[in-house]
Amino acid sequence: MRIGIVTVTFNSAEVLPDFISSLQKQTFSDYLLYVVDNASTDDGCNLLESEISGAIVIKEAVNVGFAAGTNLGIRRALADKCEAILLLNNDVVFGPDLFEKLVDGLTEFECDMTAPIMYYHQPKDRIWAAGGTLQPLLGFRPIHRGLDKPDRGQFQAPSRITFAPFCCVLIRSSVFDRIGFLDEQYFTYAEDADFMVRCLKADVALWYIPAAQIWHKVSSLTGAVSTFAIRYGARNRAYFISKHTSRLHRAVFNVLYPAYYVLRHLFGLDSRQTCRLQLSAWGEGMHILTDRPLDRTESAREPDELRNG
């Protein structure tokens, strides 16, 4: 099986040496690397091209975002007849058998997608995501299993799961015919949950493979509490809810989330500026579907019932 490794860069030169070293040590060699660069101003692309033989670099003149950039890489890999696509962050470190374990998992569990256990880069034994779950009653909110817990072997059994962050997920190419591509309205954040909800409703099987391991330099580019992260976190959560939940759920969440943002400010957890940004972004996200038609690049085949009312 040939796999296409799709990674999106944006001024990523600082994290690339570890990524390149991990790639060069892989025991599984039948892969092509697709790098989509979002108008970087550093030397990351040159570094990748010089160190990874055959790397295919797609340079964008502007920052099109993670979702659109990933779609460019996926489409190129599909055109090159890759049988599976590995969506992989470049701010990660991984062992030499990562690709091999994920590919083997597709066959062993007769599934459509596989994901590894994901640790923080530091400390190395702290779990970031041992797979995950979607919570339908809470608006399909994604949850990382084991988040922030030390690894004591509690997640060592392979299992079927409903969510894994796109930091590292191997996907059979046929899934994109069934589900479509990433929804580019998100730009970044929540596009993985959106894709996983569509997979869940189409019975696309995702398995957690704990023998495959990566270490993630979490939020190395956007910053965990940056203005960018705050805005897109609130905006995309609102858009996600407006897209995937019933009218009743939308009405309830459209009260609860703004109230939550206000309460955080009143209790001194967030500044007034942060609260205003969250409320503004929430309103923006809630109106994406009504203000302009959804760019359904995610799927020309997606059935209307996936909208859930």
Q: Name 215's bridge partners.
A: 93, 119
Q: Based on the domain organization, do 138 and 274 belong to the same domain?
A: no
Q: Based on the domain organization, do 98 and 232 belong to the same domain?
A: no
Q: Is residue 222 part of a domain?
A: no
Asked which of 216, 246, 276 is the last residue of a domain, the reply is 216
Q: Based on the domain organization, do 91 and 56 belong to the same domain?
A: yes
Burial of residue 300 (CB within 10 Å: 0-12, 13-18, 19+) is exposed
Q: Based on the domain organization, do 175 and 249 belong to the same domain?
A: no
Alpha helices in the chain (DSSP H): 16-24, 44-51, 66-79, 98-108, 174-179, 191-201, 227-244, 247-266, 272-286, 288-291
Query: What is the model's pLDDT at position 226?
Result: 84
Residues 31-54, mean pLDDT to the nearest whole number: 95
Q: Is residue 279 part of a domain?
A: yes
Residues 83-109, mean pLDDT to the nearest whole number: 98
Q: Based on the domain organization, do 169 and 145 belong to the same domain?
A: yes
Query: What is the model's pLDDT at position 225?
Result: 67
Q: Is residue 69 part of a domain?
A: yes
With cut-offs at 50, 70 and 90, classify the pLDDT of residue 300.
very low
Q: Name 206's bridge partners.
A: 113, 161
Q: Based on the domain organization, do 9 and 149 belong to the same domain?
A: yes
Q: Based on the domain organization, do 69 and 198 belong to the same domain?
A: yes
Domain total for the chain? 2
CATH of the domain at 28: 3.90.550.60
What does the angle CA 111 – CA 115 – CA 120 come to, to the nearest 5 degrees?
170
Q: Is residue 221 part of a domain?
A: no
Q: Based on the domain organization, do 54 and 153 belong to the same domain?
A: yes
Q: How many Å apart are CA 60 and CA 192, to the nearest integer?
A: 22
Chain centroid offset of residue 269 CA: 27
- pLDDT at 131 exceeding the cut of 70: yes
Q: Based on the domain organization, do 65 and 36 belong to the same domain?
A: yes
Contact 5, 31 (CB under 8 A): yes
Asked which of 169, 185, 216 is the last residue of a domain, the reply is 216
Which residues span the domain enclosing 169? Answer: 3-216
Of 27-41, 83-97, 210-224, 269-283, the least confident = 210-224
The DSSP call for residue 304 is G
With cut-offs at 50, 70 and 90, classify the pLDDT of residue 290.
confident
Q: Is residue 93 part of a domain?
A: yes
Q: Based on the domain organization, do 286 and 137 belong to the same domain?
A: no
Q: Based on the domain organization, do 260 and 149 belong to the same domain?
A: no
- The DSSP secondary structure of 38-75, one letter per residue, reads ES--SSHHHHHHHHSTT-EEEEESS---HHHHHHHHHH
- pLDDT digits 0-9 by tens, 179-228: 999 999 999 899 999 999 999 999 999 999 999 999 999 865 544 568 98
Task: Write down the pTM of the prediction.
Answer: 0.91
Q: Is residue 43 part of a domain?
A: yes
Burial of residue 273 (CB within 10 Å: 0-12, 13-18, 19+) is exposed
Residue 248 CB neighbour total at 10 angstroms: 9
With cut-offs at 50, 70 and 90, classify the pLDDT of residue 159.
very high
Q: Based on the domain organization, do 195 and 252 belong to the same domain?
A: no
Interhelix angle 272-286/247-266, nearest 10 degrees: 170
- pLDDT digits 0-9 by tens, 256-266: 999 999 999 99
> Whats the size of the chain, residue-wise?
309
Asked which of 173, 196, 216 is the last residue of a domain, the reply is 216
Residues 130-150, mean pLDDT to the nearest whole number: 96
Q: Is residue 138 part of a domain?
A: yes
Strands 127-129 and 56-60: unpaired
Q: Is residue 209 part of a domain?
A: yes
